[in-house]
Amino acid sequence: MSIDRHAALAPYAARADASRGRLHPEEPSSSRNAFQRDRDRIVHSSAFRRLEYKTQVFVNHEGDLFRTRLTHSLEVAQIARSIARNLRLNEDLVEAISLAHDLGHTPFGHAGQDALDDCMKPHGGFEHNLQSLRVVDVLEERYGAFDGLNLCFETREGILKHCSVEHAKQLGEVGLRFIERKQPSLEAQLANLADEIAYNNHDIDDGLRSGLLTIEQMMTIDLFRRHALVVKSLYPDIPQRRMILETVRRMINELIVDVTETSRAQIAAANPASLAEVREAGRLIGFSDGIHAEAVALKRFLRKELYYHYRVQRMAAKAKRIVRELFGAFDGNPDLLPAEHSARLRVLGARAIADYVAGMTDRYAIREHVRLFAIEG
Ligand code: MG
């Protein structure tokens, strides 16, 4: 069997040996295909290690059992790979995209991203998804021959989930599909949906664990209630914590089965003979209409009851203040930055501050804020 495992791949799957290649041409590896190599570069990057200390919903120091960006990314990869194998898509590519998809996230989750975007408004804004691409294309510094990780086109296109036409025009080939309104690979479509499956479910688990959500509230959500009732009838005396986990496990399974079956049918109907034909087709990876409606209802619920819970919002307000004040302190003051970042600030202006702040972990940002603003620190 070749390292690309061609025999197992469907004709519509992305193939490593047919990749559009890297920005800087490299000799192929003798032991790994190009997408495996991308995945390995991502896992060895410093941005990947920093995901361990970045907020998903709960700030990292709030509890050891909550998801972080790292465990979230691992769950996305697991879900995406399961579905990929069932659809005979390229598991190596979907894994690489999943592990890299959040590399550009700021500290403190969406609160951090919103604050940094506000600070960067006069300088073209800040968008975590574009930043993920910037991390792998430019910011990682570990190879002699090039900046960034020099990943394959297909991995980079998967990382760039969404993008305005304006930004797309500045990105060259990888942005072209947003201008031409074409689809990315099925692996990219799948990683995107696996992200949604992962966070909807783990946010229920974390929300209940934190006490910000209650079982009574969750029972108003069809997707949860359906499985919770089955679990209770199968195991009447089950302790609540196990009931929740058993319910969430069943929800994830139902979503995975639904995506697999719906996508399989949609792929069969469109019948793409190659990745090129996938790009011309409509979106082929998705939920059935019924599950889609339930997933939308769940998302709306989580937004209202968890992400906008006053305790989450208090932390978010604090986080925004930290990001805003860090940015403000550095803006126009290169002398306050560590040498490598002050040198970049002199060349790149505000973008260098955004790169520095976005790269911080939660606790690094908090410490840096103390170092800059506390009289005694
Ligand atoms: Mg994500």
The answer to which of 5-9, 65-69, 253-257 has the lowest mean pLDDT is: 5-9
Q: What is the 56 CA–ligand 1 centroid distance (Å)?
A: 8
**Same domain assignment for residues 321 and 308:** no
- For 124, left (φ over 0), alpha (ψ -120 to 50), or beta? left
Give percent of the chain above pLDDT 70: 96
Residue 271 inside a domain? The answer is yes
pLDDT tier, 65 (very low <50, low <70, confident <90, very high otherwise):
low
pLDDT digits (tens, 9 = 90+) for 146-189: 999 999 999 999 999 988 888 899 999 999 999 999 999 999 99
Reduced to 3 states (helix: H, G, I; strand: E, B; else coil), residue 370 is helix
Residue 9 inside a domain? The answer is no
Amino acid of residue 332? G
Reported as type and span, the H/E element at residue 261 is helix 240-270
Residue 5: per-residue pLDDT: 58
Q: Would the pLDDT of 98 be above 70?
A: yes
**Same domain assignment for residues 240 and 330:** no
Q: What is the 340 CA–ligand 1 centroid distance (Å)?
A: 29
Answer for the pair 155, 77: CB distance below 8 angstroms, yes or no.
no
Q: Which residue has the tokens 């932390």?
A: 315
HSE at residue 279, side-chain half, CA atoms within 13 A, is: 14
Q: What is the 99 CA–ligand 1 centroid distance (Å)?
A: 9
**Same domain assignment for residues 308 and 321:** no
pLDDT digits (tens, 9 = 90+) for 339-365: 989 999 999 999 999 999 999 999 999
Q: What is the 102 CA–ligand 1 centroid distance (Å)?
A: 5
**Same domain assignment for residues 151 and 134:** yes
- Number of helices and strands in the chain (H, E): 19, 0
Mean local confidence (pLDDT), 27-52? 96
**Same domain assignment for residues 203 and 285:** yes
**Same domain assignment for residues 276 and 366:** no
Residue 3 inside a domain? The answer is no
Residue 2 inside a domain? The answer is no
pLDDT digits (tens, 9 = 90+) for 288-314: 999 999 999 999 999 999 989 998 899
What's the total number of domains in the chain? 2
Annotate 212-240 with DSSP letters as a single string.
SS-HHHHTTSHHHHHHHHHHHHH-TT--H
Taking Cα atoms as reference points, which of 88, 7, 376 lies closest to residue 260? 88
Amino acid of residue 235? Y
105 or 4, greater pLDDT: 105
Structure tokens at 206: 């974390």
Structure tokens at 188: 């990219």
**Same domain assignment for residues 268 and 361:** no
Q: What is the 72 CA–ligand 1 centroid distance (Å)?
A: 7
Which among 313, 331, 350 is the end of a domain?
313
Q: What is the 195 CA–ligand 1 centroid distance (Å)?
A: 5
Q: Would the pLDDT of 6 be above 70?
A: no
Residue 7: per-residue pLDDT: 63
Amino acid of residue 130? L
Please count the residues of the chain.
377
Structure tokens at 49: 């290690």
Residue 102: per-residue pLDDT: 96
How wide is the angle at C-alpha 26 spanned by C-alphas 20 and 30, nearest 5°? 100
pTM of the predicted model, to two decimals?
A: 0.95
Residue 120, phi then psi, degrees to nearest 5: -90, 0
How far is CA 314 from its chain centroid? Answer: 24
The CATH code of the domain that includes 121 is 1.10.3210.10
Mean local confidence (pLDDT), 237-266? 97
Reduced to 3 states (helix: H, G, I; strand: E, B; else coil), residue 287 is coil
Q: Would the pLDDT of 55 be above 90?
A: no
Q: What is the 235 CA–ligand 1 centroid distance (Å)?
A: 33
Answer for the pair 107, 126: CB distance below 8 angstroms, yes or no.
no
pLDDT tier, 1 (very low <50, low <70, confident <90, very high otherwise):
very low
pLDDT tier, 56 (very low <50, low <70, confident <90, very high otherwise):
confident
**Same domain assignment for residues 173 and 193:** yes
Mean local confidence (pLDDT), 213-229? 96
**Same domain assignment for residues 181 and 133:** yes
Q: Would the pLDDT of 58 be above 60?
A: yes
Q: Would the pLDDT of 99 be above 50?
A: yes
- CB atoms under 10 Å from CB of 10, counted, come to 12
**Same domain assignment for residues 180 and 200:** yes
**Same domain assignment for residues 119 and 180:** yes
**Same domain assignment for residues 104 and 195:** yes
Q: What is the 161 CA–ligand 1 centroid distance (Å)?
A: 11
Domain that holds residue 320: 314-373
Answer for the pair 221, 247: CB distance below 8 angstroms, yes or no.
no
Mean local confidence (pLDDT), 194-202? 94
b/e per residue, 153-170, with b = 16+ CB within 10 A? bbbbbbbbbebeeebbee
Q: What is the 73 CA–ligand 1 centroid distance (Å)?
A: 6
Answer for the pair 61, 365: CB distance below 8 angstroms, yes or no.
no
